[in-house]
Each structure stands twice: as structure tokens, then as C-alpha cells.
Amino acid sequence: MSTTFTLRRSHAALWWPLQSEEGVVKFENKVVLGDHSNDMVTRHDQFEVKFSCAYSQPEVKTVALKIKDSSVVQTITAGDWSFTLNLKVYLDAGRTTLVEENTELQLDQKVWVALSTDDLDEKLVSIVTKSCWATSEDDKDAETKYELVVEGCPNKKDDSVEVTGNGVGVSNYFSFNMFQFTGQSTDVYLHCEVTLCVEEDCKPDCSGAEKRRRRRRALYPAPSSAFISMSWAQ
């Protein structure tokens, strides 16, 4: 036996309440068909269909990273200069909260990396962070690397990088958002090349204008270059 419905005027009402329990996401829905010639009353049967769909709730994984040796101190001899270079990582722009070894950092979280020395007279010399880059292995010359600071300026391809105070004293810092290499080890190694400058104006030109080769060689004298590294991992 079959039943035939004749519908002259109809109205379909849809609701999508969302429920989540025990790892399952459930959508519930119903369709109501009826004559809405009068908003208060109806003289025709209403037809209601209820249905639902259930899906496994997507698993969201949170990656917590920890910086190994978040404070690195290295004694450097560069040319005629000898000084102690400090590299520290902070959680705030004011550089008041130091990242500790047990501090968990999330992907895309911003951190501030400060490089400084107490052994040099800023009236005579300035330190310039020439470049900083990350590798997936403990080798600053590794083939796979991600640049953060390039020729003293933020990498233009990464909007999260900012460089402050570079070449204007015996300390400077830069910031970037935490990351890890795609499809590789969770270990990330950060390397920075620091140089000394005895010029009156040591601040790198990050305006995008073409730099004169002679000025760049004077700003970054090869004998005064030094490297410092740190790392973080999951």
C-alpha cells in the first residue's frame, strides 16, 4: 500500500545543532513541510523528516617546543677584538621574561632573540647581526636552511621577522614566530653571524635601496665575523 502526498504550498525549515561527545561530531537536522498560508494556524497536515550524520572528530595535535640552552654565552676572538657574546631568548618585546629550559613554546608563537656583549665600549664599536638562519641539523652550513635575518635586515619573505637596534650599540635583537621544518626532524638549530663595526654609522640600510659594495665591505669586515648557535626541539 502506497501513500501519495499532495503539496500545494510548502515551507522547509532547517536546523543544524552540533553535538560533540566521545570523539564523535554529530549533526542533527530536520525538514518540516507544510502550508504556511497563515502564520498562526494551518489546515493541512505537516510532514516532518528528521535525520542526522555522525563523523569522527578531527584530532588536533599541539606541538610544544622547548629551546635547548635558551641562554648561550660564547667567548669570541675576532681579529684584534676579544669579547663575550650573549644570546638569549625572551617571551616579550621588553625582554623581561627569559625563556627557560622547561618553557613550552607553541608553533607560530613569537619570541625575541637578543644578542649582546658587556665587554665592548659602544662609543668605539658596535655589533651588527649580519645574518641569522635555521637548519634542521647541527651544521650551520647545512644545505637545507631557513633565513630570518639577511644582510642585517629581516627576511622579506617572512612577515613575522623584525630586527631592532641592529648596529647602533653593543646589543640588538630580532623577533620571529616559532616554526619547525616540514616533514623533517623536529629539531631546529638557529645560527647567527655577528660582526663588529667601527664606522660612525653601522646601522644596516633596510630600505631596499641598492647598497654600494664598498660601504658593505667596510660595514662587515671579514676578520671580525663570528658565529653563535642555539637549538630547540619538541
Residue-wise pLDDT for 118-146, tens only, equals: 888 888 888 899 999 999 888 889 988 99
pLDDT digit string, tens, across residues 206-225? 987 655 443 433 444 444 57
Cell 625563556 maps to which residue?
99
pTM of the model: 0.67
Cβ-proximal residues to 212 (8 Å cutoff; 6+ apart), any chain:
none
Domain boundaries defined on the chain: 18-56, 64-233
Those residues whose C-beta lies under 8 Å from the C-beta of residue 208, and which sit 6 or more positions away, are: none
Each residue's pLDDT tens digit, 66-120: 666 667 777 777 666 778 888 899 999 999 998 887 888 888 999 999 999 888 8
CATH 3.40.50.720 is the classification of domain 64-233: no
Contacts with 126 (C-beta within 8 Å, 6 or more apart), sequence order: 167, 168, 169, 170, 196, 197, 198, 202
Task: Output the CA angle 174-177-179, nearest 5 degrees.
Answer: 125
